[in-house]
Amino acid sequence: MTGTSPAVVAASRLGLTFQTNDGPVQALSNVDLTIGKGEFVSFIGPSGCGKTTLLRVIADLEKPTSGTISVNGMTPEQAREKRAYGYVFQAAALFPWRTIERNVGLPLEIMGLSKAEQAERIKRTLDLVNLSGFEKKYPWQLSGGMQQRASIARALAFDADLLLMDEPFGALDEIVRDHLNEQLLELWGRTNKTICFVTHSIPEAVYLSTRIVVMSPRPGRVSDIIESTLPKERPLDIRETPEFLAIAARVRDGLRAGHSYDD
Amino acid sequence: MSWLKPSWQAVLAIVLCVAGLALGAIAAPKVDPLVQPAGTLIYPYAATSWLIFGALLLAALISMARIPSVVEAVVLFIGAHLVAWLLIGGIAGFEGLARAPYFLLLTAAWLLGWRCVAVLSGLRPMASWARSALRLVIPAIFGAWILILWEAVTRGAGIPFILLPPPSAIGQRIASSLPVLGADVRQTIFKAVIFGYIVGSGAGFITAVLADRVPFLRRGLLPIGNMVSALPIIGVAPIMVMWFGFDWQSKAAVVIIMTFFPMLVNTVAGLAASGHMERDLMRTYASGYWQTLLKLRLPAAAPFIFNALKINSTLALIGAIVAEFFGTPVVGMGFRISTEVGRMNIDMVWAEIAVAALAGSVFYGVVALVERAVTFWHPSVRGG
Ligand SMILES: Nc1ncnc2c1ncn2[C@@H]1O[C@H](COP(=O)(O)OP(=O)(O)OP(=O)(O)O)[C@@H](O)[C@H]1O
Ligand SMILES: [Mg+2]
């Protein structure tokens, strides 16, 4: 965590407690985390450990109840108003009354881009997720995986420097997932974006990340942070190398430790 | 017996037909004062009774043979309607004299018509024009049979005109009173209903958007709107007549009161209908209130809004007609109904009812068509 580059996300002693009808739920407690520019950080942990909540706090969709957090040196709210990040939700959340191309263009319309600029970005990002030819289709005419890809295209078209992705590839088959993993790495390498990526898959986390944040539940907290020693250039078959497997084993141990804490 | 495919409707029709044959004359004879010598009886269905029995049996039997469904439907259609036409035609002059076989035959013909519709609904034609034609033909046969049974029963059993006139008499009345009916429609529908509907629904919509924006309005307005909607129209209408005069404006006021609340409630519900994730998405784009309203919440509310528009299309018509019972210039559908009932011109009342039903259906249909075009994306529309 030696931040030579300026911090994009800086959280210290961050906590969030939901007040529910059956008492308070501590979704996050004492999260200390600094994410530098150009990092690819994966969040992994059992269901309910607060991964989505952490991402939502960064995105100013949820207010922390203790601690501090800054995004690009501002409060999350200011960062959101400045359109500092793109967010890919756990579900596609496409608008059924808009065609795919107009769904991807939605953030661009809101930003008030020119028609030509919109068309150019829509085409580029739909190409990127292999959805060219489906511009005029409606979301309900596509498969679940295609819808999720369209929602990724929408976040990419937004073209913010920070990308928050909540299990974006959870609903996809292995082959498409591999392909999109490659595409995402390629995009990340090319654009120097900062990416926060939630996943349940250890190989996916290890393959993509420069850093893996292992979280554990009740209360949701960061239990381990693993730096990846893999090179930036990563062909798919890097997943068979001993180095890769060693990192995966460390992540698995971290997850186990979190789980055994429960018992 | 592979050439036979029995259907219970056809079998039952044959049974009824045979029973009718056994029970004798279709209707009682009567004395005709014009024929000499005096006291001579004349008999109904003298020439057609064998044709009726024959057509019925033949159609029922052929329909059970293994023939293409389209042919079967055509045979049934011709048989059922020929029999009905002959029965109704023959009863002219013998109203009220029908005997049991008349009703048995009528039931048998109706069963064949039923079978015909059943066969037609089973058809799955490839061509799209044939499919849309079927969508029209099936309800048309259905509606025709309501009229046929109504006509045949009122005339066969000789139901008093005051209680229920046969549809043919109502039709004649409509044809002969077109100018009056036209003036009534213009007064009631084109003035009171349309104006009240647009203003009432529009005001309900705008109020809903305001109530959604300003929380104190939501808490204050919804209960009051609720109360207004519970006001009895019978009580409101005379007051509106006092406030706004006898002409259509007072009826439009009643329509406004009636249509306002369904639109308010539905739009408020619709504006809350967009999903959390979609709203969070708009937040991440730093989208303002109006952008979110226009691009997300109103489209998501469209099914609710159209629901209100459809409810209001019928409410508006009822409101305007009933309001005219409480004072109106000497024109208007409600006025006509209330005065013609007093004069025992029941066929005119029915004529107005028919026109109101037609106008209401067209109104509803137009709204429903626009709904289909606008909310094409909604599961309830795209599924069908
Ligand atoms: N709006 C809310 N109100 C109350 N409790 C909540 C709310 N959102 C989340 N929680 C609770 O906070 C905890 C963390 O939830 P969160 O959605 O962040 O988990 P997650 O790690 O994303 O899980 P998953 O992998 O299943 O998506 C859970 O115990 C959940 O019940
Ligand atoms: Mg989650």
Cα of A168 from ligand 2 centre, angstroms: 10
Chain B residues 271-330 within an 8 A CB cutoff of chain A = 275, 277-278, 280-287, 291, 295-296, 299, 302
Report the distance separating Cα A89 and Cα A205, nearest Å.
17
Instruction: Please indicate, yes or no, whether residues A101 and A126 belong to a single structural domain of this protein.
Output: yes
Please list every residue in chain B whose beta carbon sits closer than 8 Å to the beta carbon of residue A105.
none
Q: Above pLDDT 70, what percent of chain B?
A: 97
Instruction: Please indicate, yes or no, whether residues A186 and A149 belong to a single structural domain of this protein.
Output: no
**Chain-centre distance for alpha carbon B346:** 19
- Sheet-wide strand order for A23-36: A23-36, A7-20, A66-71
Report the distance separating Cα A71 and Cα A82, nearest Å.
11
Q: Which residue of A has its CA nearest to B295?
A: A106
Per the structure, the complete domain to which residue A99 belongs is given by 94-159
- Nearest Cβ partner for B277 among A83, A85, A93: A93
Instruction: Give ipTM to 2 decimals.
Output: 0.89
- Which residues contact ligand 1 via a Cβ below 6 A? A 18, 20, 25, 27, 47-53, 220
Instruction: Please indicate, yes or no, whether residues A118 and A46 belong to a single structural domain of this protein.
Output: no
Instruction: Please indicate, yes or no, whether residues A24 and A80 belong to a single structural domain of this protein.
Output: yes
Burial of B122 (0-12, 13-18, 19+ CB in 10 A): exposed
Instruction: Please indicate, yes or no, whether residues A176 and A77 belong to a single structural domain of this protein.
Output: yes
The answer to whether residues B266 and B273 touch, using CB atoms and an 8 Å cutoff, is no
Contact at CB, A140 and B382, closer than 8 angstroms:
yes
**A89 within domain boundaries:** no
Confidence of residue A259 (pLDDT cuts 50, 70, 90): low
Instruction: Please indicate, yes or no, whether residues A243 and A166 belong to a single structural domain of this protein.
Output: yes
Q: DSSP of A132-168, one letter per residue?
A: TT-TTS-GGGS-HHHHHHHHHHHHHHHT-SEEEEEST
CATH code of the domain in which A14 resides: 3.40.50.300
CATH 1.10.3720.10 fits B174-383, yes or no: yes
Instruction: Please indicate, yes or no, whether residues A179 and A250 belong to a single structural domain of this protein.
Output: yes
Residue B224 amino acid letter: I
**A141 within domain boundaries:** yes
What are A73-98's pLDDT values in tens digits?
A: 888 898 888 888 999 998 889 999 99
Instruction: Please indicate, yes or no, whether residues A188 and A253 belong to a single structural domain of this protein.
Output: yes
Q: Which residue of A has its CA nearest to B294?
A: A110
Confidence of residue B353 (pLDDT cuts 50, 70, 90): very high
What are B245-299's pLDDT values in tens digits?
A: 888 889 999 999 999 989 998 999 899 888 889 999 999 998 889 999 999 999 9
The answer to whether residues A91 and A78 touch, using CB atoms and an 8 Å cutoff, is no
What are B314-329's pLDDT values in tens digits?
A: 999 999 999 998 877 8
Nearest residue CA, atom 5 of ligand 1? A18
Q: Which atom of ligand 1 is nearest to the CA of A49?
A: 21
Element (H, E) at B316: helix B298-323
Residue A94 Cα, gap to closest chain B Cα (Å): 8
Report the distance separating Cα B267 and Cα B259, nearest Å.
12
Contact at CB, B285 and A107, closer than 8 angstroms:
yes
- Whole-model pTM: value is 0.82
Flag whether pLDDT at B147 surpasses 90: yes
**A77 within domain boundaries:** yes
Flag whether pLDDT at A50 surpasses 50: yes
Instruction: Please indicate, yes or no, whether residues A73 and A197 belong to a single structural domain of this protein.
Output: yes
In total, how many domains does chain A have?
A: 2
Closest CA to A85 of A115, A55, A106, A62: A55
The answer to whether residues B55 and B10 touch, using CB atoms and an 8 Å cutoff, is no
End position of a domain, from candidates A128, A144, A159: A159
Instruction: Please indicate, yes or no, whether residues A170 and A262 belong to a single structural domain of this protein.
Output: yes
Q: Write down the mean pLDDT value for chain B.
A: 89
What are A93-103's pLDDT values in tens digits?
A: 999 999 999 99
Contact at CB, B377 and A83, closer than 8 angstroms:
no
The residue with greater pLDDT, B2 or A118, is A118
Instruction: Please indicate, yes or no, whether residues A138 and A183 belong to a single structural domain of this protein.
Output: no
Confidence of residue B107 (pLDDT cuts 50, 70, 90): very high
- Residues paired with residue A35 on neighbouring β-strands, in sequence order: A9
**A247 within domain boundaries:** yes
Confidence of residue B127 (pLDDT cuts 50, 70, 90): confident
- Nearest Cβ partner for A95 among B278, B283, B286: B278
End position of a domain, from candidates A111, A139, A159: A159
Length of chain B (residues): 384
Please list every residue in chain A whose beta carbon sits closer than 8 Å to the beta carbon of residue B277.
89, 91, 93
Mutant choice from B276, B277, B278, B281 vs A, greatest count of A C-beta within 10 A: B281
Contact at CB, B286 and A59, closer than 8 angstroms:
no
Asked if the C-beta of A96 comes within 8 angstroms of chain B's C-beta atoms, the answer is: yes
Cα of A166 from ligand 2 centre, angstroms: 7
Give the pLDDT score at A263.
45
Please list every residue in chain B whose beta carbon sits closer than 8 Å to the beta carbon of residue A100.
none
